[in-house]
Amino acid sequence: MFEIVLTIHLIIAFLLIVLVLIQHGKGADAGANFGGGGSSSSQSVFGSGGSGSFLSRMTAIVATIFFVTSLTLAYIGSQKAKGYQSVAKEAAAAAVVEPTDVPVIPN
């Protein structure tokens, strides 16, 4: 289960990075106002609102999934950690010598 959630988490993380990188910054609109571009192809592909609302919505959805998988991994990891003991406790338990049934001969 842990490996499946971890794989999904890594894919979502990569997708989130890509979505953030392909978005326009706030300064991109200022460049368009000064003759940086007329009607862009994003208006015809994503509608008259442009790609901003679509990409923002997709980023919000992917970020929500990323947070859910992060919390799920933290929960699964804490449940797995409850079953483990520290190395010092295991070494102390192994060092305890059980008494044998062999009688001890006094000198």
pTM (two decimals): 0.57
Rg (CA), the chain: 29
In angstroms, rounded to a whole number, what is the distance separating the alpha carbons of residues 59 and 53?
A: 10
Cβ neighbors of 43 (< 8 A, separation 6 or more) are: 50
In angstroms, rounded to a whole number, what is the distance separating the alpha carbons of residues 107 and 104?
A: 9
Give the pLDDT confidence score for residue 82 in this predicted structure.
76
| Tokens at 24, concatenated | 């326009």
Per-residue pLDDT of the chain (107 residues), as tens digits, is 889 999 999 999 999 999 999 988 776 555 556 665 555 555 555 555 556 688 889 999 999 999 999 999 999 988 887 766 667 777 777 776 666 677 777 77
Contact at 8 Å (CB) between 59 and 19?
yes
104 phi and psi angles, rounded to 5 deg: -95, 130
Q: What dihedral angle (degrees, nearest 10) is formed by the CA atoms of 29, 34, 35, 38? A: 30
- Quickly tell me which residue has 């950690």 as its tokens: 81
